[in-house]
Each structure stands twice: as structure tokens, then as C-alpha cells.
């Protein structure tokens, strides 16, 4: 029952559809025959939103959202107003917007009779400096960033609404995603940031000595996980979604050197306190329950990402 084709004909709302994850999910939903209402503050790119109905708005536009949610089967909640760095700079506002906003969405969905929200949580930040990676869903989370604390609190609220109101929400703890439509212009997503910097001829700056390990996951794999979570009929409510492979920043740079065919000069800088030392996810629960695993090939995914960023730079310059 976790065959993604079961999403065909379902009416889906994607909240926060204008961002990178939305650009992964929406075209896949459309291709599978789902009806997609896409909702967000802005659309960075038009191409991935072909075939969806776009609505502009924020989590605070309660009336607009309530109308949008009528007759909907499943909601994908990808909205986040912050990156880990910006959340840290403004913790109270991040709390209000992201946790408070999630709570508001939960109430609207409950009143609309929607059974399932698939919530994009953060596998890279909720565990923080927890012990003994790879982290499983039963690892005790010790977030060391406001971003991680707030994602975790929002997860708890999704589970609370399952408990109180019989919803069947699912939180996906998504590792470090990368891929086309992650433009790399802000400080989020080091694969894209580095690629863009190299292609634009600027120097790569690494916080720390480049040894910190992350679990990098291709965007197409994330979309597949979200759709499988949408149609999942088992009892679990929280899944790690990652590659399960730890790669250091130096590994990433080495792989980019191969893909881009050039030596990449790096400037090492003092590490930031919000960065965890190692983040690798044990994704066996998602494999067992959702029948999902990160199937994309690392080097091919990197290559596709580089091609897209090259093309994005070209488009910006014409």
C-alpha cells in the first residue's frame, strides 16, 4: 500500500510549495495524476509548478487557507520561514511563525476533516548533539539550534493532534536535501552553495576543518518519501528520511571536483555553534514501513544538481 501510484486522483495541498522541497514534490504529484493546490509566499521558479493551481499566501492567512483546504485528501506542510542561521538570529519570531503557524494549520486541517498532514521536519537538526550516530527515531533528540527545537515542537503538535482528534499526521525527519531548484544563493544547502560559488568563481568558505559529516539526500528521493508517507496506512508517525551515508564536507568538495572537472580552492573558517559534529540517519524504519529508501546515485545526483545550477546562472545572466 505504499506504492506511490495510489496518490493518483487525490486532492493534495502543498503548503510552502514555492521553495526547494515544493519544487521536488509538485511535479512528481502532477506526474502521478494527483490534483495539486500549491500554496506559498513566493514562487522562485515557474517550471516545477506546471500543472498545479497556485495560491499566494502565508500560514497566517487563515481564511484563505481554510478555503483552500475544502475537499482535500492530504496536506504536505513544507512551510518554513527560516533557515537554521536565520532562526537563531530571531528565536522568538521563529517560534511564533513556525511552531505557532504549524499549530494554526493543524487546527484548520482538523476542522476541514483532513486526516493527514505530511510534515517536513528536519533530520539534520532535531537530533543535535545526541549520542552515537547514526540516529534512529528512538534516539533521544538534543537539538542545539532554535531551528531544531522548533521543528521538534511542531512534530510533537502533529502527534498531539493524532492523539486527540484521530488525525494520522506523519513527520518526516529529512536529512540534508540537495538538488535542482535549491539555488544556493542563501546559506542553506552546502552542495548548492558550493557549486554555485565554484561556478561563479568565488572562494568556498567552510566552517570548521571540513570533517563534519552530513547525510545528503537527493531531492527526488525526498519527494518519493513524502508521497509514500501520504498514502502509508501503518501506525508509525515519525520517520528518518536520509541516505544513511555520512559524507564529510571534504568528501562533498572532492566529489564536486570530479563532477566539475576542476580543483576547488577552500578557505577554512572557525566552526559555528549551531552546527552538529555528525548527522547520519538510520532510515531502516522508513524502509520497513514505507518501502522507501534513498535510491538515487550520489555522483549522478551531484551532476544533475551542477547542471541545473549552471543553467540557473546562465538564465540569470541573460
Residues that bind a copy of itself (CB under 8 A): 91-92, 95-96, 99-100, 103-104, 129, 138-140, 142-146, 149-150, 152-153, 156-157, 159-160, 163-164, 273-274
* Residue closer to a copy of itself, measured from CB, 41 or 142: 142
- CA of 279: how far to CAs of 213, 245, 270, in Å? 6, 9, 19
| Secondary structure (DSSP) of 117-173 | EEEEEETTTSSBT-SSSSBPTTSPPB--SHHHHHHHHHHHHHHHHHHHH----EEEE
* Helix (H) or strand (E) segment spanning residue 220: helix 219-231
CB of 216 to a copy of itself, least distance (A): 24
* Residue closer to a copy of itself, measured from CB, 73 or 107: 107
- CA of 235: how far to CAs of 1, 139, 146, in Å? 13, 19, 29
Q: Kindly report the number of other CB atoms within 10 A of residue 253's CB atom.
A: 19
- DSSP secondary structure letter of residue 42: -
CB of 70 to a copy of itself, least distance (A): 23
* Residue closer to a copy of itself, measured from CB, 153 or 264: 153
* 138 contact partners, CB below 8 Å, separation of at least 6: none
CB of 15 to a copy of itself, least distance (A): 17
CB of 284 to a copy of itself, least distance (A): 17
* Residue closer to a copy of itself, measured from CB, 104 or 210: 104
* Residue closer to a copy of itself, measured from CB, 145 or 243: 145
Sole residue written with cell 531502516: 284
Among 212, 236, 216, 246, which Cα is nearest to 287's? Answer: 236
* Residue closer to a copy of itself, measured from CB, 64 or 110: 110
CB of 247 to a copy of itself, least distance (A): 24
CB of 82 to a copy of itself, least distance (A): 15
Amino acid at each position: 500500500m505504499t506504492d506511490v501510484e495510489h496518490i493518483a486522483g487525490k486532492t493534495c495541498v502543498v503548503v510552502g510549495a514555492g521553495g526547494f522541497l515544493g519544487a521536488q514534490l509538485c511535479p512528481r504529484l502532477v506526474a502521478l495524476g494527483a490534483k495539486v493546490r500549491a500554496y506559498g509566499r513566493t514562487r522562485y521558479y515557474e517550471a516545477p509548478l506546471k500543472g498545479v493551481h497556485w495560491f499566494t499566501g502565508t500560514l497566517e492567512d487563515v481564511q484563505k487557507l481554510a478555503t483552500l483546504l475544502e475537499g482535500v485528501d492530504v496536506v504536505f506542510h513544507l512551510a518554513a520561514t527560516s533557515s537554521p542561521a536565520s532562526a537563531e538570529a530571531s528565536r522568538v519570531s521563529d517560534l511564533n511563525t513556525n511552531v505557532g503557524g504549524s499549530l494554526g494549520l493543524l487546527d484548520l486541517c482538523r476542522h476541514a476533516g483532513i486526516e493527514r498532514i505530511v510534515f517536513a521536519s528536519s533530520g539534520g537538526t532535531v537530533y543535535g548533539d545526541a549520542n552515537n550516530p547514526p540516529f534512529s527515531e528512538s534516539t533521544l533528540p538534543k537539538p542545539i539550534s532554535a531551528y531544531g527545537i522548533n521543528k521538534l515542537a511542531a512534530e510533537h503538535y502533529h502527534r498531539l493532534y493524532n492523539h486527540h482528534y484521530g488525525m494520522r499526521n506523519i513527520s518526516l525527519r529529512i536529512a540534508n536535501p540537495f538538488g535542482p531548484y535549491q539555488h544556493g544563493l542563501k546559506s542553506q544547502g552546502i552542495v548548492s552553495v558550493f557549486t554555485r560559488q565554484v561556478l561563479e568563481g568565488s572562494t568556498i568558505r567552510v566552517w570548521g576543518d571540513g570533517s563534519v559529516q552530513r547525510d545528503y539526500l537527493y531531492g527526488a528521493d525526498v519527494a518519493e518519501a513524502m508521497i509514500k508517507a501520504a498514502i502509508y496506512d501503518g501506525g508509525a508517525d515519525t520517520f528518518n528520511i536520509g541516505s544513511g551515508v555520512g559524507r564529510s564536507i571534504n568528501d562533498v568538495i572532492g566529489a564536486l571536483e570530479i563532477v566539475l572537472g576542476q580543483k576547488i580552492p577552500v578557505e577554512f573558517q572557525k566552526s559555528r555553534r549551531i552546527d552538529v559534529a555528525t548527522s547520519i540517519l538510520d532510515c531502516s524504519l522508513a524502509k520497513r514501513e514505507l518501502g522507501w529508501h534513498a535510491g538515487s546515485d550520489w555522483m549522478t545526483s551531484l551532476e544533475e544538481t551542477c547542471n541545473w545550477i549552471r543553467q540557473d546562472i546562465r538564465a540569470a545572466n541573460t
